Amino acid sequence: MGGAVTGVAAWLLVDKAVIEADEYLNRDDLEAELRQALTEQREELRAVFRTHSMSGIHSVFDGLLETLEAHGPLRPIKPEKDFVPAYATSAPPR
C-alpha cells in the first residue's frame, strides 16, 4: 500500500513539474495566441454588428420614406430669398 501511495505521489509531482515547465517555456506564445484570437473575434463581432445594425437602419428609413410618400410626393423646401441666418441677427458676444 505504501508503494502505491508513493508511486501516485511521485507521478503527481512529476506531472506538476512538467506542467510548470511547459507553462514557463510556452506562456508568452500562449498569451500572444490568445490575444490574437481575441482581436480576431472582436473584429468579426464588429463586422456582424455593423451589418445587422446598418440593415436595421436601412429598413427603418425605407419604412419612413414609404410612409411619407404615401401622403404625397416629396419636394425640397427652399427658404425665401430674404432668408437671414439666426446668428446674423443675434447680438455680438461680449
Residue 51 corresponds to which amino acid? T
Q: CB neighbours of 65 closer than 8 A, spacing ≥ 6? A: 74
Q: Above 70 in pLDDT, residue 67?
A: yes
* pLDDT given for residue 2 in this prediction: 78
- Is 61 within 8 Å of 67 (Cβ atoms)? no
Q: Above 70 in pLDDT, residue 61?
A: yes
d(CA 9, CA 6): 5
d(CA 23, CA 31): 11
Q: Which helix (H) or strand (E) is 21 found in, with range? A: helix 2-70
* pLDDT given for residue 94 in this prediction: 61
- Domain residue ranges in the chain: 2-68
If one compares 78 and 14, the residue with the highest pLDDT of the two is: 14
